[in-house]
């Protein structure tokens, strides 16, 4: 017989990394692809054939609390699962900046689900909390391919959007 108390106790970041078999992501945090629509025909896209949809787990932790600015060509739906809230910063092509929080406190205005359109720069960061991690899933359509992703370069983004230079210093690679 299993111990029901153990299954109700919160997971640690280390347990999630091991149990979900997550590995480091180039933008920061940890991930694992959990689905690709390989039972459907591939989509013809500018960059080549893509799966209709892919999905991942994505985890930010105390030792990797930032998902650096990056741009995807595909639309992405984010789904909050566990842990502390995550702040998302979205930067639209016209320079408009939106900051949203994903988390379980819907009464406080936190989002359980967040859509980021293709062509929008985004960054995320783990907010202070009790768990020391935030776990989400992402569904990407057309499916994710590294060829469709750009990591944000601090200097380049600061040239394009000088009004947000300080933000890029915190949420971009050098």
Per residue in 140-157, pLDDT (tens digit) is: 999 999 999 999 999 999
Would residue 5 count as lying in a domain? no
Would the pLDDT of 4 be above 60?
no
Q: How far apart are the C-alpha atoms of 160 and 156, rounded to whole Å?
A: 6
Report the domain count for the chain. Answer: 1
Would residue 127 count as lying in a domain? yes
- The number of beta carbons lying within 10 Å of the beta carbon of residue 69 is 25
Would residue 102 count as lying in a domain? yes
Would residue 11 count as lying in a domain? no
Range of the domain at 63: 19-171
- Tell me whether the omega of the peptide bond preceding residue 142 falls within 30 degrees of 0, making it cis: yes
CB 172 within 8 A of CB 153: yes
Please tell me the pTM assigned to this model. 0.92
Would residue 9 count as lying in a domain? no
Residue 133, strand partner residues: 61
Would residue 114 count as lying in a domain? yes
* Portion of the chain with pLDDT greater than 90, in percent: 86
Supply the CATH number for residue 167's domain.
2.60.120.10
Would residue 12 count as lying in a domain? no
Q: Is 28 left (phi over 0), alpha (psi -120 to 50) or beta?
A: left
């Amino acid at each position: 017989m299993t111990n029901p108390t153990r299954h109700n106790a919160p997971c640690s970041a280390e347990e999630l990394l091991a149990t979900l078999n997550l590995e480091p992501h180039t933008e920061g945090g940890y991930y694992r692809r959990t689905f690709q629509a390989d039972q459907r025909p591939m989509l013809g896209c500018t960059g080549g054939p893509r799966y209709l949809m892919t999905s991942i787990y994505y985890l930010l932790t105390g030792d990797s609390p930032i998902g650096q600015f990056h741009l995807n060509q595909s639309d992405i739906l984010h789904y909050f699962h566990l842990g502390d809230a995550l702040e998302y910063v979205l930067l639209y092509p016209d320079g408009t900046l939106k900051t949203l929080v994903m988390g379980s406190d819907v009464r406080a205005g936190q989002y359980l689900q967040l859509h980021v359109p293709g062509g929008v720069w985004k960054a995320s960061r783990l907010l202070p909390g009790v768990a020391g991690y935030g776990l989400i899933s992402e569904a990407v359509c057309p499916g994710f391919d590294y060829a469709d992703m750009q990591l944000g370069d601090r200097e380049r983004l600061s040239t394009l959007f000088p009004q947000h230079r300080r933000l890029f210093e915190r949420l971009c690679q050098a």
